[in-house]
């Protein structure tokens, strides 16, 4: 009997001790500091810590903008200037004229790039979302294994399998063809993965009630699911655009016809092997033309990307 | 009942088919072909000739360019850029999570922007920055500050070229994985912090190790995978920087470069495939290290 009382007293004491400690600890807690809703000067120290990296990432970009608009005399100037003082479009004109020497007008490279990028984006979104729908909503044999395989394939770096890709591309006759720019890029495991993860967030009740209303899978896919996964679709669009717009491999390996090659390939021939200062101005313009659409698209869609990335985790 | 069930199965295959056609053709089949061809001699004209392990034996015993340059450079590069870029990405993501929304968005775009294009396509920036004459930005800066007396030939010395590759690699390392980690940190349940402080958490450092990292492990793993992928995008960078193919003293010569050289310049597809297999194995090792660090350890949980 007395042992039980003692035990109770001991427990009571322990409880009080823990409560006191929790209160003391809690005094140290000054609110959640992550993701603050407004700016406060206590955030300045974090900005200062980021500053070196921000400079390293921002300076080259600023530089490439100003270099593109420098006149020849400023490109040669000593001391070197980061910013152009007089803006000229000489480099743009030189770049366009240089292209016409190969017999293919500049506009043709732009057309090829735009067309193949657009096709890559649209087809990636279409076949990626179809596959993701089957992963998220439908039941079939091998589903788990296929998804695991797809997840593992995210880390298969495309450059690592360039040699067999070359063989397969020639065997399939995907050479000298605008589709050569598109089809190999459609195998984008990370896109399907992100789409599936995002689709998993769609409430199952929506699917079930649409099913009860007599909708078939294609109707549910098109009318119910696709509008809800727009952020993930936009993310896939960005990734597909990056893969396509920056792609040099297809033009240099699978396409011989100069008229079917794309912008970055043409630019890479300009940049490689030349160290002449005049070529630097043109190269800067070339880099600018490659870079600007990428960044504009990302700025427009960044909210969607961040939204998608919340579900990007691999478990 | 039976009929509807069969129809459902058909639908699923219709949905999955288009993607898996390209996926199997351009990922899985390619890996299989790599492995098969790596045991053959194949010049793209004649039918592949089975040679057993000869390609691998040659690769590791005869090919001094591979053993002395490509392999060690790749491993060194991957060991620095993989973890290094990854840690920078995480730190930047964490720091960004400490500032308010509008500022964070702008800064995130700036940090992410280098990874939008490849370092190779942006080579002109580095050429001018590291140019060997007094007009190069870095030389000019160092000369003005009095650190050096005469211009340094940054792009001629093999050690320097490797260093610059590391710099460019780190510059562009904040990619999709960085965004994933940032998004993960922002979505951590805020009650967790409060509960942890009640339980005796003392500092923001402890917050990182006891709350942030465990909460975003899945995103950390995704980030690690994307970091591995990004690491191997440096193919051709040394050539683009120096404007010479191959670069002087094979500086910054990666397995991918060596592989492309044999595959597409000499059409020794079998030999190049063997390198491709070695490369895939290196990628695999990195992947398994990432999984063992950040994956959910199912067997441990049961114990």
Determine the pLDDT at residue B192.
87
A63 and B134: CB-CB below 8 Å?
Answer: no
Residues ≥6 apart with Cβ < 8 Å to A180: A169, A174, A250, A254, A255, A260
Are A79 and A150 contained in the same domain? no
Are A107 and A79 contained in the same domain? no
- DSSP reduced 3-state for A219: helix
Say which CATH number the domain at A147 has. 1.10.3720.10
Pick among B24, B124, B134, B294 to test the A interface (most A CBs inside 10 A): B124
The rounded percent of chain A whose pLDDT value lies above 90 is 53
Pick among A19, A161, A183 to test the B interface (most B CBs inside 10 A): A161
Contacts of B116 in chain A (CB under 8 A): 242, 291, 294-295, 298
Neighbours of A28 (CB within 10 A): 12
Determine the pLDDT at residue A283.
82
Are A186 and A74 contained in the same domain? no
Average pLDDT value for chain B? 87
Domain with A151, as residue range(s), is 103-309
Which element (helix H / strand E) includes B49?
Answer: strand B49-50
Domain residue extents for chain B: 64-302
CB-nearest partner of A312 from B103, B111, B222 = B222
> What is the spatial distance between Cα A132 and Cα A201, in angstroms, rounded to a whole number?
12
Reading the block at residue B10, the tokens are 């058909």
Tens-place pLDDT, residues A60-97: 888 888 888 888 777 777 777 777 777 888 888 888 77
A280 and B124: CB-CB below 8 Å?
Answer: yes
- The whole-angstrom distance between A95's CA and the closest CA on chain B is 15
Residues ≥6 apart with Cβ < 8 Å to B32: none
**Lowest-pLDDT range of A32-41, A298-307, B258-267, B294-303:** B294-303
CATH number of the domain at B64-302, out of 1.10.167.10, 1.20.120.420, 3.20.20.70, 1.10.3720.10?
1.10.3720.10
Contacts of B180 in chain A (CB under 8 A): 309, 312-313
> What is the spatial distance between Cα B96 and Cα A57, in angstroms, rounded to a whole number?
15
Domain count across chain A: 2
**Lowest-pLDDT range of A140-149, A190-199, A272-281, B9-18:** A272-281
Q: Is B34 on the interface with A (CB under 8 A)?
A: yes
What mean pLDDT is predicted for residues B16-27? 95
Domain assignment present for residue A16? The answer is no
Contacts of B179 in chain A (CB under 8 A): 305-306, 309
Domain assignment present for residue A258? The answer is yes
Contact (Cβ atoms closer than 8 angstroms) between residue A55 and residue A285 = no
B114 and A38: CB-CB below 8 Å?
Answer: no
Domain assignment present for residue A30? The answer is no
> What is the spatial distance between Cα B282 and Cα B278, in angstroms, rounded to a whole number?
6
Q: Is A313 on the interface with B (CB under 8 A)?
A: yes
Contact (Cβ atoms closer than 8 angstroms) between residue B76 and residue A258 = no
Are A228 and A79 contained in the same domain? no
Which element (helix H / strand E) includes B50?
Answer: strand B49-50
Determine the pLDDT at residue B299.
47
Determine the pLDDT at residue B71.
94
Contacts of A38 in chain B (CB under 8 A): 100
> What is the spatial distance between Cα B237 and Cα B211, in angstroms, rounded to a whole number?
39
Q: Which residue reads 């696709």 in tokens?
A: A226
Domain assignment present for residue A26? The answer is no
- The whole-angstrom distance between A206's CA and the closest CA on chain B is 18
**Lowest-pLDDT range of A267-276, B74-83, B101-110, B165-174:** A267-276
- Would you place residue A19 in the very low, low, confident or very high pLDDT band (cuts 50, 70, 90)? confident
Tens-place pLDDT, residues B228-246: 888 887 888 888 888 778 8
A314 and B30: CB-CB below 8 Å?
Answer: no
Contact (Cβ atoms closer than 8 angstroms) between residue B112 and residue A306 = no
CB-nearest partner of B183 from A63, A291, A309 = A309
Quote the radius of gyration of chain A (alpha carbons, Å): 28
Are A124 and A193 contained in the same domain? yes
Tens-place pLDDT, residues B101-115: 999 999 999 999 998
Q: Is B123 on the interface with A (CB under 8 A)?
A: yes
Are A196 and A67 contained in the same domain? no
> What is the spatial distance between Cα B183 and Cα B163, in angstroms, rounded to a whole number?
31
- The whole-angstrom distance between A43's CA and the closest CA on chain B is 6
From the list A95, A89, A106, the residue with the least C-alpha distance to A282 is A95
Are A54 and A177 contained in the same domain? no
Neighbours of B144 (CB within 10 A): 9
Touching B: A residues 93-122, CB under 8 Å? none
From the list A289, A291, A287, A278, the residue with the least C-alpha distance to A98 is A278
Q: Is the model's pLDDT at A315 over the cut of 60? A: yes
**B114: nearest CA in chain A?**
A57
A54 and B124: CB-CB below 8 Å?
Answer: no
């Amino acid at each position: 009997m007395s042992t039980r009382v003692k035990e109770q007293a001991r427990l009571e004491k322990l409880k009080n001790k823990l409560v006191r400690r929790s209160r003391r600890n809690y005094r140290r807690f000054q609110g959640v500091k992550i993701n603050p809703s407004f700016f406060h000067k206590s955030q300045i120290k974090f900005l200062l810590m980021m500053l070196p990296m921000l400079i390293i990432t921002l300076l080259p970009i600023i530089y490439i903008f100003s270099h593109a608009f420098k006149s020849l005399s400023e490109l040669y100037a000593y001391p070197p200037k980061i910013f152009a003082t007089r803006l000229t479009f000489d480099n743009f004109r030189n770049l366009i004229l240089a292209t016409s020497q190969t017999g293919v007008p500049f506009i043709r490279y732009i057309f090829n790039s735009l067309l193949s990028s657009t096709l890559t984006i649209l087809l990636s979104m279409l076949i990626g979302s179809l596959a993701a729908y089957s992963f998220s909503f439908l039941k079939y044999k091998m589903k788990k294994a296929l998804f695991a395989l797809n997840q593992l394939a995210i880390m298969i770096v495309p450059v690592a399998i360039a040699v067999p890709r070359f063989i397969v591309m020639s065997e399939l006759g995907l050479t000298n063809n605008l589709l050569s720019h598109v089809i190999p890029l459609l195998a984008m495991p990370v896109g399907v993965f992100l789409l599936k993860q995002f689709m998993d967030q769609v409430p199952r009740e929506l699917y079930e009630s649409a099913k009860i209303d007599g909708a078939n899978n294609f109707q549910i896919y098109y009318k119910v699911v696709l509008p809800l996964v727009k952020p993930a679709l936009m993310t896939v669009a960005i990734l597909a655009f990056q893969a396509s717009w920056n792609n040099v491999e297809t033009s240099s390996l699978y396409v011989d016809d100069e008229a079917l090659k794309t912008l970055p390939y043409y630019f890479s021939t300009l940049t490689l092997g030349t160290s002449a200062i005049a070529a630097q101005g043109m190269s800067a313009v070339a880099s600018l033309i490659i870079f600007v659409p990428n960044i504009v698209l990302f700025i427009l869609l960044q909210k969607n990307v961040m939204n998608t990335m919340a579900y990007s985790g691999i478990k | 009942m039976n009929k509807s069930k069969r129809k459902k199965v058909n639908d699923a295959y219709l949905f999955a088919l288009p993607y898996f056609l390209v996926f199997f053709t351009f990922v899985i089949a390619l890996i299989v072909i790599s492995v098969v061809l790596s045991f053959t001699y194949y010049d793209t004209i004649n039918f592949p000739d089975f040679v057993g392990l000869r390609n691998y034996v040659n690769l590791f015993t005869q090919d001094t360019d591979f053993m002395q340059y490509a392999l060690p450079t790749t491993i060194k590069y991957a060991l620095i850029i993989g973890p290094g870029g990854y840690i920078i990405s995480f730190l930047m993501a964490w720091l960004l999570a400490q500032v308010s929304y509008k500022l964070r968005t702008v800064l995130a775009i700036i940090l992410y922007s280098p990874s939008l294009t490849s370092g190779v396509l942006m080579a002109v920036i580095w050429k001018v920055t590291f140019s060997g004459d007094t007009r190069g930005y870095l030389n000019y800066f160092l000369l003005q500050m009095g650190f050096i007396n005469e211009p340094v030939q940054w792009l001629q010395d093999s050690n320097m070229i490797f260093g610059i590759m590391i710099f460019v690699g780190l510059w562009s390392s904040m990619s999709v994985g960085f965004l994933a980690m940032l998004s993960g940190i922002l979505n951590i349940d805020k009650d967790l912090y409060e509960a942890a402080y009640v339980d005796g958490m003392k500092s923001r450092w402890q917050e990182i190790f006891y709350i942030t990292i465990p909460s975003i492990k899945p995103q950390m793993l995704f980030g690690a995978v994307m970091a591995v992928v990004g690491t191997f995008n440096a193919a051709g960078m040394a050539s683009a920087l120096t404007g010479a193919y191959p670069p002087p003293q094979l500086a910054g010569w990666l397995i991918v470069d060596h592989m492309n050289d044999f595959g597409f310049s000499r059409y020794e597809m079998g030999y190049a495939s063997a390198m491709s297999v070695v490369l895939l194995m290196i990628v695999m090792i990195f992947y398994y290290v990432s999984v063992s660090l950040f994956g959910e350890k199912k067997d441990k949980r049961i114990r």
